[in-house]
Amino acid sequence: MTLLETVHGPGRLGELTARELDALAGEIRAFLIDRVSASGGHLGPNLGVVELTIALHSVFDSPSDRLLWDTGHQSYVHKILTGRAGGFDRLRKAGGLSGYPSAAESEHDLVENSHASTALSYADGLARADAHLGVRDRATVAVIGDGAMTGGMAWEALNNIADGPDRPLVVVLNDNGRSYAPTRGGFADHLAELRAGQGGAGLFGQLGLAYLGPVDGHDIAALQDALRRARETRGPVVVHAVTEKGRGFSYTEDNELDRGHAIRPMDPLTGLPTGRSAGPSFTSVFGRELTRIAEERPDVVAITAAMLEPTGLLPMQRAFPDRVIDVGIAEQHAVTMAAGLSLGGVHPVVAIYATFVNRAFDQLLMDVALHRRPVTFVLDRSGITGDDGPSHNGMWDMSVLQVVPGLRIAAPRDGTRLAELLAEAVAWEEGPTLVRFPKGPTGEDLPARATFAGIDVLHRTGPLDVLIVSVGALAGTALRVAEVVGTHGLGATVVDPRWVTPVNPALADMARRHRLVITVEDNSRTGGVGSTVAQFLRDTGVKTPLREFGIPRRFLDHGARADVLAGCGLSPQDIARTVVEEISAGEATEDRAADRLDDGMVRLLKQASRGEIR
């Protein structure tokens, strides 16, 4: 039996010698490489915190002591040490382990912490709650990466933590010089000085925080010593641990781009991905097209928030290194800086994940849209992303952002439409534009059979029964719905508005000609495109009934994208069944109304024959 097989909770660590703890670290690394290579997931961040996590759980008593991880993608070792190693065979799969901390999985997890720069605020609140309630026998520990420290929220929290000298709170700064890619900016330079022993307590000391370090983040004994001293401080203290992302695996150590930050399933012996390529991704098409646009337009620059390669900006960065700006994990700053660039005569393209645009809503609304600045936003990973779980689904952007005056929103259905709509977005100079697309391959192009007033008609057959308004990448689903309802003798028209906001006025005329209108979108039904189209039809006096198909108003568990969509009732079969039932119900209502009309006519004729009416 290996040492790892004997660890069913953190209490076991206290029974192991220093040599056994080092051996356990090696076994955990081998376990991570084997399991995460098979499932995909965040490998590099977790290989870098093996010794740090062992030290934390050997010094602190979880769950009595609260351990918070920022971001949660570095919590795999924590899961292993808290008895969840057996769940790694289904990591990030439906019914299996989440890729982030999850209170539903274990009492050792407090929050589903997967958006960066938040743990210090959680920790400050927990420490204040203990002080308020007179609890003095436990510690609060926040593990935060140096990349997450580039986010403004982390500094807001640090400012307030420093204002509480009597509140025990341990901030473990996991300094590996990276978020996804190397950390940039003045704070990164300052940490380099601290690592070199040039700054003393540095900025942390100037804020009034106790500072311990730098300490070798791969030396368990040294870490234990620093953490014990931190626990005894009885006030806020920073432990500066220097780690190496991707440590112990040649594939991640040699990958200077991201150190194996998030990998697809791969062969652990070669580092090569397993499975077949499904064709170009939306992300890669965007990166190629933006680079082409940048070649033609010297005024175009790109902005990313610590996600250069994941958002497809690497080709442009290689071609025009001075025209791609990485602000770190600082979406709010990115958006208002984009407004400033626009004011200065530059056209910014802000590329971020759809789930992260929520963090910069106020800036988009007040700093960009209010001033009608021509800034283009490109939202990757829109709709259901699947295996990253509830926090990473991009299912709110079209609901949240449709309230923004003057913002034009496009949802391309395939790679060709992405290229077209991106070019149109960057060419628009009257205000902000937004282009959203999902994670994954573009699939085959779905050409329009006709175009009417800017609306692409993808399918038209049979009587004018149902008008299917398809949004973005669910065009394939919409076409399949049309096929299924056709087997029931119903005619269908499938259209793609391309620009979903504002609503194209031509939709009103199309809707009037059909018996039922449905909208199909991979966004929340609440406030989504369907809701906006319904409001538009009411405002224009269209009486045709409308049914919205989208994501329900709830957080969705992790799983494969197709499975999650099916679970939301967005399979072609489920949608088609509802369409057939609604039209059948409408026909029955019409028949009953006709029957009532016939009965009434009979009564009138009888009354007339008796001279009761003239």
Q: Residues annotated as binding site for thiamine diphosphate?
A: 73, 114-116, 147-148, 176, 249, 331
DSSP per residue over 144-178, as a string?
A: EETTGGGSHHHHHHHHHHTT-TTS-EEEEEEE-SB
Backbone dihedral angles phi then psi of residue 349, each to the nearest 5 degrees: -120, 110
Dist CA 484 CA 490 (whole Å): 9
Distance CA 469, CA 514 (A): 12
Backbone angles phi, psi at 139, to 5 degrees: -110, 155
Using CA atoms in the order 558, 560, 561, 565, what is the torsion angle rounded to 10 degrees?
A: -80
| Structure-token pair, residue 294 | 């940048």
Strand partners, 433: 376, 408
Catalytic residue among 105, 289, 331, 548: 331
Tell me whether residue 296 is one of the annotated catalytic residues.
no
CA angle 325, 328, 331 (to 5 degrees): 90
d(C-alpha 52, C-alpha 362), whole Å: 37
Answer whether 396's CB lies under 8 Å from 358's CB.
Answer: yes
One-letter identity of residue 429: E
Query: Residue 585: exposed, middle, or buried by beta-carbon count in 10 A (0-12, 13-18, 19+)?
Result: exposed
CA dihedral (308, 309, 311, 313) positive or negative: positive
Q: Across the strands, what pairs with 215?
A: 241
Cα–Cα distance for residue pair 9/7, rounded to 1 Å: 6
- The tokens of 404 are what? 């923004």
Residues of the binding site for Mg(2+): 146, 176
Is it true that the peptide bond before 270 is cis, omega within 30 degrees of 0?
A: no
* Candidate list 79, 84, 178, 245, residue with the active-site label: 245
Q: ∠293-299-302 over CA atoms, to 5°?
A: 65
Q: Quick check: is 245 catalytic?
A: yes
The whole-angstrom separation of Cα 29 and Cα 27 is 5
Provide the annotated binding site. Answer: 73, 114-116, 146-148, 176, 249, 331
- Residue 91 DSSP label: T
Give the chain's length. 614
DSSP E strands, 330-425: 347-353, 376-380, 408-410
Q: CA 87 from chain center: how many Å?
A: 23
Catalytic residue among 178, 359, 408, 417: 359
Bond from prior residue into 502 cis (ω within 30 degrees of 0) = yes
- Report residue 214: phi and psi, to 5°: -70, 145
Active site annotation includes 439: no
Q: Which of 156, 190, 183 is nearest to 332 (CA)?
A: 156
Q: Going by DSSP bridges, is the β-strand pair 347-353/376-380 parallel, antiparallel, or unpaired?
A: parallel
227's torsion region: left (phi>0), alpha (psi -120 to 50) or beta?
A: alpha
Which residues are known to be catalytic?
Answer: 245, 331, 359
